[in-house]
Structure 1
């Protein structure tokens, strides 16, 4: 099964507490990190693939080390396909690739510098970190992250980030990756909401 998430921002202490950007109501980054690991593993099993659409952790100045990020990612179930976000850095991707623990005879980690596309239920998922303006599309959705607490007012743009407002439309625990079925549900809700405006 495929899952989707963005903007985990592991170790990002500036997001802790009440703020206008992406409030995360935890006392410490350790508590925040643990909550995301638990939410991820409650939904994703070892046979699943998770598309992480950028911003794994905060810039290197906030992260203890590449090893610390690696140790977090080792605790996450499934295979992870990363799309580079604005807070991701090439040296981390190289470190993860070099130390990849493997996954059922394949690599656990795969990397895409800009984006990737898959098909689900006759719908194309174009996955990027930044939202895209696709124009008139049919059976094509742009899954993205980056904007945390806002949503693009286009039905075909679905924010899959941890702090995305679209998540409030479904009963999804904070920090959980979204399933493909939930992506389709969010699109239907958003399309109806925007038509009724």
Structure 2
């Protein structure tokens, strides 16, 4: 099964507590990190693939070490496909590739600098870190992150980030930090379409 997430920002102490950008209801970075690890592993099976749409970890002025980031990522179930975010960098990707813990005889991690595309239920998922303006589309969705607690007012743009407001549109709310399943992407698209229609 495929899952999707963005903007985990592991170790990012500035996001703790109440704020307008990316409110995270935790007293410590350790508690925030553990909540995301638990939410991930409660949903994702070791045979699943998770698309991480950028911004793995950061902490301005005191960046987490590559060893610390690897230690977190090694605890996460499944294979992880990374799309580079604005707070990711090639040196980190190279370190993770060099120290890949392995996954069923192959690499656990793979990397894309700009984005990648898969098809699910006759719908293209164009996955990027930054939201795209696709114009008129048919059976094409842009899954993205980057804007945290904000939403693009276009139904085909779905923010899959940890802090995304789209998550509130799900009929059955997920634990904070849980990756979204492909079926939930389709549910979010339909719900966002309806919500935007009602605003007109």
User: TM-score normalised to the size of structure 1?
Assistant: 0.98
1:175 aligns with 2:177: yes
Specify whether residues 107 and 61 from structure 1 end up closer, same or farther in structure 2 by C-alpha distance, changes over 3 A only.
Answer: farther
SS of equivalent to 1:127:
strand
1:85 aligns with 2:74: no
1:188 aligns with 2:196: no
Q: Structure 1: which 5+ residue stretches go unaligned?
A: none
Q: Deviations over 1:60-119 (max 9, x none)?
A: 743331000000000000000000000001111010000011111110000000000000
Instruction: Tell whether the 8 Å contact from 1:12 to 1:62 is kept in structure 2 after alignment.
Output: no
- Note the C-alpha offset of 1:133: 0.4
Specify whether residues 92 and 61 from structure 1 end up closer, same or farther in structure 2 by C-alpha distance, changes over 3 A only.
Answer: farther
Paired residue total: 197
- Pairing of 1:88-167 with structure 2 (within 5 A): 88-167=88-167
Instruction: Tell whether the 8 Å contact from 1:145 to 1:159 is kept in structure 2 after alignment.
Output: yes
List, as ranges, runs of 4+ consecutive aligned residues in structure 1 with deviation greater than 2 Å: 59-64
Q: Structure 2: which 5+ residue stretches go unaligned?
A: none
Whole-Å separation in 1 of the counterparts to 2:64 and 2:179: 25
User: TM-score normalised to the size of structure 2?
Assistant: 0.96
Equivalent position of 1:74 in the other structure: 74
RMSD: 0.9
Specify whether residues 60 and 102 from structure 1 end up closer, same or farther in structure 2 by C-alpha distance, changes over 3 A only.
Answer: farther
- Pairing of 1:37-56 with structure 2 (within 5 A): 37-56=37-56
Whole-Å separation in 2 of the counterparts to 1:59 and 1:79: 25
- Note the C-alpha offset of 1:33: 0.2
